């Protein structure tokens, strides 16, 4: 009797064990099938499906590269009394149809010399056909090392930005300069240079210039006189400004400006002169 009960209990346990194993098997099978089905459904895009992250809404617009395009240079060639012929020579040596040019003889040059330069530019068939050489008719009196030298450069840059079209680098030269390479060679060399790069010395480590450039107060006679003379120095010194940091450098070749920046700098110079 006791052995019979044990056999019945053993059979019941075996039956429940088999039932449990079968249930677990079918449950696992259902889970696996549901995973595969949900994966297939999620992998198929639907029109009404909305992105979860904002990055999926972004679209990157590719901008055509300007690399290896032949660059365009903008030149300012300045001169003073007796520099008319030298300025013409420099202009002819630097000329290229792709470039833009502004030429300027300051007020120290005679009216006849300035008119001769204007007739030279207007009478040149190539200059007239291409239309990329401009003469500053309203000449400025430029004092070396004075603010009038800066304002003359900004004036030429503003003309080039307003009338000179699309150019890549601005080069400031005098009538005594002369190129050592042809413009074709120069443009070919610069064609692979990224347009955002420049060729200026620019640093906040002003060193000795703090005492000899930042602290002295100078007056530029070109701001109020029609007779050219050198800047003169005031005996008093000013302190180095603490609200901003001074930078120094050399700006013979610089990338293109924004027109409003030129106007802003001119306004700042005018305000500082008036004050």
pTM of the model: 0.64
56 pLDDT exceeds 80? no
User: Lowest mean pLDDT: which of 75-79, 99-103, 206-210, 263-267?
Assistant: 263-267
Which residue(s) pair with 172 in the sheet? 76
Determine, yes or no, domain membership for 27.
no
Determine, yes or no, domain membership for 141.
yes
Determine, yes or no, domain membership for 234.
no
Asked if 199 contacts 83 with a C-beta cutoff of 8 angstroms, the reply is no
3-state secondary structure of 178: coil
Q: Rounded to whole angstroms, what are the CA distances from 56 to 43, 50, 63?
A: 16, 9, 20
Question: How is the beta sheet containing 73-79 ordered, strand by strand?
Answer: 133-135, 100-105, 73-79, 169-174, 253-255
Query: Which is nearest to 118 in space by CA: 130, 102, 129?
Result: 102
Residue ranges with strand state E in the chain: 73-79, 100-105, 133-135, 169-174, 201-203, 216-219, 232-237, 248-250, 253-255
Backbone angles phi, psi at 184, to 5 degrees: -60, -45
3-state secondary structure of 64: coil
Average of pLDDT values for 146-174? 88
130 pLDDT exceeds 90? yes
- What separation, in Å, do the N-terminal and C-terminal C-alpha atoms of the chain show? 123
DSSP 55: G
- Both tokens assigned to 206: 């002003």
Can you give the residue range of the structural domain that contains 188? 73-198+251-274
- Both tokens assigned to 21: 């194993």
63 pLDDT exceeds 50? no
Dump pLDDT digits (tens) for 8-43. Answer: 666 666 666 677 777 777 777 778 877 766 655 555
Return the pLDDT at 10: 62
Which one has a higher pLDDT value, 155 or 14? 155
* Overall number of domains in the chain: 1
Return the pLDDT at 119: 95
Dump pLDDT digits (tens) for 203-257. Answer: 777 777 777 777 888 787 778 777 777 877 788 888 887 787 777 766 555 554 4
State the Cα–Cα distance between residues 123 and 29, nearest whole angstrom: 93
Determine, yes or no, domain membership for 37.
no
Residue 50 — pLDDT band, cuts 50, 70, 90?
low
Residue 1 — pLDDT band, cuts 50, 70, 90?
low
Sign of the dihedral through C-alpha 88, 93, 98, 103: negative
Query: Which is nearest to 222 in space by CA: 210, 233, 231?
Result: 231
Asked if 78 contacts 139 with a C-beta cutoff of 8 angstroms, the reply is no
Sign of the dihedral through C-alpha 121, 186, 74, 72: positive
Return the pLDDT at 265: 44
Dump pLDDT digits (tens) for 74-98. Answer: 999 999 999 999 999 999 999 999 9
């Amino acid at each position: 009797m006791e052995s019979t009960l044990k056999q019945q209990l053993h059979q019941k346990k075996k039956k429940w064990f088999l039932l449990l194993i079968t249930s677990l098997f079918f449950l696992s099978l259902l889970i696996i099938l549901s995973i595969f089905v949900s994966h297939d459904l999620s992998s198929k895009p639907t029109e009404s499906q909305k992105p979860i992250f904002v990055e999926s809404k972004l679209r990157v617009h590719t901008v055509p590269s300007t690399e290896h395009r032949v660059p365009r240079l903008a030149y300012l060639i300045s001169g003073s009394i007796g520099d008319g012929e030298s300025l013409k020579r420099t202009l002819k040596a630097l000329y290229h149809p792709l470039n833009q040019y502004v030429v300027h003889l300051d007020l120290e040059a005679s009216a006849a010399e300035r008119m001769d330069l204007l007739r030279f530019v207007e009478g040149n068939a190539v200059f007239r056909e291409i239309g990329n050489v401009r003469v500053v008719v309203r000449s400025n009196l430029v004092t070396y090392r004075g603010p009038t030298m800066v304002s003359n450069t900004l004036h030429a840059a503003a003309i080039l930005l307003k009338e000179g079209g699309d150019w890549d680098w601005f080069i400031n030269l005098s009538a005594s300069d002369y190129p050592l390479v042809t413009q074709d060679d120069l443009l070919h060399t610069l064609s692979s240079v990224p347009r955002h790069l420049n060729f200026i010395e620019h640093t906040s480590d002003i060193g000795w210039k703090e005492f000899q450039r930042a602290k002295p107060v100078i007056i530029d006679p070109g701001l109020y006189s029609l007779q050219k003379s050198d800047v003169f120095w005031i005996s008093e010194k000013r302190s180095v400004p603490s609200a901003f940091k001074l930078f120094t450098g050399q700006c013979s070749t610089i990338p293109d400006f924004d027109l409003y920046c030129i106007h802003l700098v001119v306004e700042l110079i005018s305000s500082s002169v008036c004050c």
